[in-house]
Structure 1
Amino acid sequence: MTLTDTPVTPAATPSDAASPHTANPSAASPHTANPSAASPHTANPPVGWDDLLAAALLGTDRRTPPVAARPGQDAPMALLEAAAVSTVRRRAGLLPAAARPRPVPAPDDTRPTLPPAARLRLAMLLTDRAGTGGNGPRTAPDLAELLPQWLSAANGYGYRAPSSLLPALIDAARARTDLRPAALTLAGPRALWLARLNPDWRFALRGGPAGGAFDGAAPGAVLDEGAANRLWEEGLFAERVALLASLRRRDPAAALDLLCRTWPTERAEDRLMFLDSLREGLSSADEPFIEQALSDRSRNVRSTAAELLSALPGSALAARMATRSRACVTLREEAAGQTEVVIDPPRSCDSEMQRDGVVPKAPSGRGERAWWLGQLVEATPLATWSQQFGGRTPARILAVPVADGWEAELHAAWSRAAVRQRDAAWARALLSTPVGGDTSAAPTGLAARAALAFASLDPSPGHGAPATPTPQGPASAGPSGPAGTPATPATGPAQTPPPPPPPAPSPATVPPPNASPPTPTASAPAHTHGSAPAVRAALGGRPLASAEGPSWRDPAKLLAVLPPEERAVWVAEFIAAHGLSDAFRLLGVCAVPWAEPLGRAVVDALDIARDAGSYPWSFSGVMGLAERCLDPALADRLEILTALAEEPRDGAPGATGYWSEAFQRLVGTLRLRATIQAELADKPGEGQPG
């Protein structure tokens, strides 16, 4: 017992109880020969605990202890003795606490238990979730980075977490927000039960996933109407979000009706989350409710409502935005047959525009009119522009020149609209990915794709119509707009030394004066195993993914709109053409495990970087992605890369040894991922404890 313990009033004891030492108060004894003499047991009357604590904190030199010292005893010892006596007195006086009702048992989780090997693996991953860091060998897999993938795979099988590992699993979710959805899904309804008992875990009560917040949210589970209404009115926030999401998947109209009942009484942050849940199954039936949310008190709710309505091409808001945008963006045809886009941005942001989600105040460094124009075009259905531009395709629309330097602003707004509206046709055009035409000659095997990794590639057009390959390279472009408007060349840097200059271009193919020529980068390996025209010919005349391209373009967001297979091919071509220096964000949007063409391109680029003599930590981000995203089946084929290679003449000292360790770690991680998949695929044992 320490000095900081809270004092407890001792139980009352008879003051006249007899004791061996005080049976006859008048009798003399060795212990009571002098009644006035101090006794170690009766010298000091009870002293308040607060007084003892204050004296101990200040020190006996500054404050005299509230107890008298016995002969020969110094003040500190007297204080400690009094504290000990007080502690014994308080312990002896403790009374049993009144019995409290037992807590309600945790809800049942009927999902299957983990297989034994997978259960041990989860315990290991949770124990080492802080990562090996510098404590382990450089060739050891990073277990902390494998935990998200393990959780995702386990949830894919529909397993539940063992009860004994729930505290560690919730702690992991608390420490890493990226783990929370998957970790709480695996933990299931018992995570919420535990979160009510521990203040440190209260985050789970508001952040619980739809799949594990309550039994009825499980796939295929259905709550009766009475239970659903009761849960919606009385449940925790996480349970209500889960209920709304589950009901939205099964019956969107019923979910909307449930939300309408309590909408006026919800808090602003809760209204925002509930409104955002309507993205799933969004349809014109939701428009009247979302239209009302445009007048909400919360700016965030109004903004989300406008975003949802703009994703409905037939909504009244989309029509209003289209009307405003058409007045600002028009097509002008000159007498000589030349065509250009003319921009007349809004001159004011009236109250109706603000109600429709247009933010009036521009960010620092942006002009107000340009800011308003971008928001209008972003919220306009993209189908509007095909009608506005005489039935042109997205690629041909992008090829039309824009007057007075408004091209970047207009194309940036179209890019955001393509992402918001999930329009793959516009995303392809903005990425300069060709569609249509005769693609029967394009090879589908891996040989042509693998050849890209060793080609010295010059940039393809950054946007506009696809370039037509010629024997001299892409020096000229075919008709891509009215009157044969040429495509605009790319402005991004090339990752390889430029090829010999092509023949002088004709006047129709002279690039605009503000186009930047491709420039090599220092980190690009100088491999010349093929030429750009040859590789493009091997690809059936398809232009390759351009480099960084215009400053307005965000390839990662646009790629997310495309199908997974198309994403992988585009990023593989990008890496083959421009290396890995700008590929990290692009790789992050590709489906896992990577498709074989993409995996081959990444491995080939890493091999080229090793041969160039650079250090592997220059590519640590891509190497980490490769460990988590490459197909584990490639481990045996990559074993050859773990061998020590010959040091390049101009390479960094010791680089080959570091590359060998990096590839050993890559191969080891791939094999561990294969083992994890096999462990999760095993059938759990009958009667296995949870």
Structure 2
Amino acid sequence: MTVPDVMDDWAHLVSTALVGTDRRPLPAAGPGPGADPAAQLLARAALAGLARRVGRPPERFEGALPQPAPPDPRPALPQAAARRLRTILDSYPKYLPEWLAAVRRAGFRLPAAYLPPLLDIGRTNMLIRADLAAVLAEPGRWLAAASGNWRYLLREARAEARPEDWQGADPDARVCYVAGLYLSDPQAARRLIRQDWAAQRAAVKLGLLALVSRYPDPDDVSFVQGLLKDPSKQVRDEATLLAGGLERRSAKPPPPDFTAEVARLLAANRGVGRDLHNFVMTRSGEPWPHDGALLLIDALAERGGRAAKAAWSDWIAEQVQTAVADNAPLTVRDRVAGLVADQAVAAALEGAAPRVDFAAMLALLDFRRDMLAELRLS
């Protein structure tokens, strides 16, 4: 049996295995392992399976070829930044949002090989989708249109809004237009959603609800509550969840000033404690003010010079230390570098290991500094 014959016979082998060789006998294929039809089926399946693994001649394609990817006129990403992206994806994925935002501002074009892995990450990380869509631009949208797993990108804003996207029949394009409108004129986006809601299909409504959730506003509560009678059950379910989240959000007081709250918690707990840790963790993922970050660094330095009061305080200090490295502005780097030098001198004189590892904090700050500096190259 030739390789093409084996490959053509695969569907028949599968169906025969499902219904049984007694009901669907195999076609003659020359000598086999005895007269047992089941043994012959297994032998033929082994041969066909091997052929599928090795490869087969290409099938003749009679359809129209897809349009090539659109050109991207932006300058190519510097080589150092491309190497940095590989390191981020392999070892420091927590810095990908900051890196993507910086690339978006710098206006570079990514190497094509990085588009698929980034699109895969965006499937589960919704926080990066707006920046990812801007960075991948039209080539990314072209690639996303070819795969159902990446179609979420088609609902993100384009670099330039196209009114025909809203007027057309494509639900992804309609959501894409409103996403862009949110970036340029949020109030106009909200008016458009309310005015045309009844005329939209369920797929568009779900995409619009996702945008309302991403860009919440106190005025959205009554609108979302009114959707609990929408004809689509899926829309009603999503609206119920969103209404509850918006109500809880509107009932919460505004977050306290970061620096003032850090100072208050340090005074109340006489240093780095559980309450401070909890507050710091709730503010991770957002830029911290310079003064507030310095308060945390100085508190860690003070804690490093005295004994811990509880076993869990070492873990808390490590968590706060990492959070500072990840969220503090890079303007605190010189302060951390000075503390690293002080610890080196103390270790040489006293021979004791530091209780707070400022060298590790400095290494992460330097990673972020170099990561952003590489994008300022021309």
When normalised by structure 1's length, the TM-score is 0.41
1:120 and 2:83 matched: yes
Residue of structure 2 aligned with 1:599, choices 280, 290, 293: 293
Task: State the 1:625 CA deviation.
Answer: 0.7
Task: State the 1:666 CA deviation.
Answer: 0.8
1:240 and 2:189 matched: no
Task: State the 1:601 CA deviation.
Answer: 1.8
Q: Which has the larger radius of gyration?
A: 1
Q: Distance in 2 between matches of 1:112 and 1:162?
A: 11
1 or 2, which has the higher helix percentage?
Answer: 2
Counterpart for residue 318 of structure 2: 620
Residue identity opposite 1:170 in structure 2: L
Q: 1:594 to 1:6 in 2, by over 3 A?
A: same
Task: State the 1:682 CA deviation.
Answer: 1.5
Q: 1:182 to 1:7 in 2, by over 3 A?
A: same
Residue identity opposite 1:204 in structure 2: L
Q: Deviations over 1:60-94 (max 9, x none)?
A: xxx99977759xx877998898789999999xx98
CA contact (8 A) 2:262 2:296 kept: no
Residue identity opposite 2:344 in structure 1: A
Give the percent of matched residue pairs that are identical in Structure 1 and Structure 2: 24
Residue of structure 1 aligned with 2:279, choices 582, 586, 590: 586
1:102 and 2:65 matched: yes
Q: Distance in 1 between matches of 2:212 and 2:353?
A: 54
Task: State the 1:252 CA deviation.
Answer: 4.4
Q: Deviations over 1:488-522 (max 9, x none)?
A: xxxxxxxxxxxxxxxxxxxxxxxxxxxxxxxxxxx
Helix, strand or coil at the partner of 1:244: helix
CA contact (8 A) 1:293 1:305 kept: no
Helix, strand or coil at the partner of 1:601: helix
Helix, strand or coil at the partner of 1:673: helix
Task: State the 1:679 CA deviation.
Answer: 0.8
Counterpart for residue 99 of structure 2: 150
Counterpart for residue 8 of structure 1: 8
Task: State the 1:628 CA deviation.
Answer: 0.9
Helix, strand or coil at the partner of 1:159: coil
Counterpart for residue 233 of structure 2: none
Q: 1:48 to 1:184 in 2, by over 3 A?
A: closer
Residue of structure 1 aligned with 2:327, choices 629, 632, 648: 629
Helix, strand or coil at the partner of 2:303: helix
Q: Distance in 1 between matches of 2:227 and 2:47?
A: 70
CA contact (8 A) 2:225 2:239 kept: no
Task: State the 1:179 CA deviation.
Answer: 3.7
Q: 1:229 to 1:178 in 2, by over 3 A?
A: closer
1:659 and 2:355 matched: yes
Residue identity opposite 2:276 in structure 1: A
When normalised by structure 2's length, the TM-score is 0.69
Q: Distance in 1 between matches of 2:177 and 2:82?
A: 29
Residue of structure 2 aligned with 1:673, choices 352, 368, 372: 368
Q: Distance in 2 between matches of 1:585 and 1:240?
A: 40
Helix, strand or coil at the partner of 1:145: helix
Structure 1 unaligned residues grouped into runs of 5+:
10-46, 132-142, 218-222, 309-356, 358-374, 380-412, 420-557, 560-565, 647-653, 684-690
Q: 1:108 to 1:250 in 2, by over 3 A?
A: farther
Helix, strand or coil at the partner of 1:672: helix
How many equivalent pairs are there? 348
Counterpart for residue 209 of structure 2: 272
Q: 1:586 to 1:66 in 2, by over 3 A?
A: same
Counterpart for residue 256 of structure 1: 191
Task: State the 1:291 CA deviation.
Answer: 9.6
Residue identity opposite 1:571 in structure 2: V
Task: State the 1:103 CA deviation.
Answer: 0.7
Task: State the 1:244 CA deviation.
Answer: 1.5
Superposition map of 1:178-577 within 5 A: 178-206=127-155, 208=156, 210=157, 214-217=158-161, 223=162, 228-237=163-172, 239-248=173-182, 249-250=184-185, 252-253=187-188, 256-257=191-192, 260-261=195-196, 263-267=198-202, 269-270=206-207, 272-273=209-210, 290=223, 293=226, 296-297=229-230, 298=236, 301=239, 416=252, 418-419=253-254, 558-559=255-256, 566-577=257-268
Helix, strand or coil at the partner of 2:355: helix
Structure 2 unaligned residues grouped into runs of 5+:
231-235
Task: State the 1:617 CA deviation.
Answer: 3.1
Q: Distance in 2 between matches of 1:104 and 1:168?
A: 22
CA contact (8 A) 1:644 1:657 kept: no
Q: 1:242 to 1:103 in 2, by over 3 A?
A: same
Q: Distance in 1 between matches of 2:11 and 2:181?
A: 61
Q: Distance in 2 between matches of 1:113 and 1:231?
A: 32
Task: State the 1:187 CA deviation.
Answer: 1.8
